Amino acid sequence: MKKTAILLLICLVIDIVCDATPRRRKTRRRAAPRRSVQHTPKKLTQHDIDPFRTCEDTCAHVHGIDVSHYQEEVFWQAVGDDTNMAYVYLKCTEGIDNVDPRYSRNIEMAQNHRLKVGSYHFFRPKLELSRQLQNFTSQCLPAEQDLIPMLDVESTGNLPTEAFCDSLHKFLLMLEDAYHQKPLVYTYRNFYNSHLQGRLDDYPLMIAMYSDEQPQLADGRDYVIWQYTCRGRLRGVHGDVDKSRIMSGHTLNEIKFAR
């Protein structure tokens, strides 16, 4: 009993001492203020504001498009009603036996809606030239053309440059003989500079380079048409479409089909 009283007295004293001792407060470390990140606002282009309003709405150049089955069904009335579009090149054939499945309808409808129409062949330099010519001429009929035929040249077919150019020149002469006029040659600026500079002086050119700046060819050659985008938008065309324009100092009459 005595021991119990002593133990209670000791606990009471400890409790009094603890209450009298000030407790240390845990201080929370204040987090450093977050730095505000300065985001440079994206500069909106005209395409962001209105994807259907682009170069051809703000300049005086003559503009056109090229179309193949990749654009699927084209609403040609809407394209023809766009007074800023004057011409269209249609994919006709490729290689020895490939015919664009929408070519016949596209050429009929495009001309019905007042567009100047030309046709092109995608060149395969390693395939038999006479069969490529037969493929193209069986579809690209002179009576249906407003513009000179165009040869789409984008690949060497893994041939050395000399062998590739030999094949190309032979085919260009075959086209010239078939249509009695020099064809238009389409190619990319870099491809031209790598394989074709100084080799196509007698042929009009369409040069593709997707940039705000006009392309410069390494040999200083002039060209008639610049294809400036492959992501153009146009009412009546599903998805992206290639757009081009006639260069200053040139006219659409330079590539008019002569009958």
Tokens matching residue 117: 């129409």
As a whole number of angstroms, the distance between CA 221 and CA 238 comes to 34
First-to-last C-alpha distance (Å) of the chain = 133
**Hey, what are 167's tokens?**
């094949």
* pLDDT tens by residue, 145-201: 999 999 999 999 999 999 999 999 999 999 999 999 999 999 999 999 999 999 999
Supply the pLDDT for residue 17. Answer: 43
Residue 88: CB atoms within 10 Å: 27
What pLDDT is recorded for position 84? 87
- Residue 234: CB atoms within 10 A of its CB come to 24
All residues at 6 or more sequence positions from 30 whose CB lies less than 8 Å from its CB, including other chains: none
Alpha helices in 90-220 (DSSP H): 103-112, 129-137, 161-179, 189-191
Give, in order, the Cα–Cα distances in Å from 80 to each of 71, 72, 129. 16, 17, 35
The pLDDT, as a whole number, for residue 58 is 60
Residue spans of the chain under pLDDT 50: 8, 12-14, 16-37, 39, 42-53
Residue 98 has phi, psi (to 5 degrees) of -90, 120
pTM over 0.85: no
Residues 6+ apart with CB under 8 A from 184: 118, 147, 148, 149, 150, 151, 203, 204, 205, 206, 224, 225, 255
Interval 179-192: pLDDT, tens: 999 999 999 999 99
Looking at residue 129, the DSSP 8-state letter turns out to be H
Q: Identify the residue whose tokens are 């040069």.
A: 207
3-state helix, strand, coil in the chain (%, to 5): 35, 20, 45
Q: Name the residue among 83, 152, 158 with its Cα closest to residue 113.
A: 83
Helices (H), 45-141: 46-49, 55-58, 76-81, 103-112, 129-137
Confidence (pLDDT) at 54: 54
Over the Cα atoms of the chain, what is R_g? Answer: 35
Neighbouring C-beta atoms of residue 10, cutoff 10 Å: 9
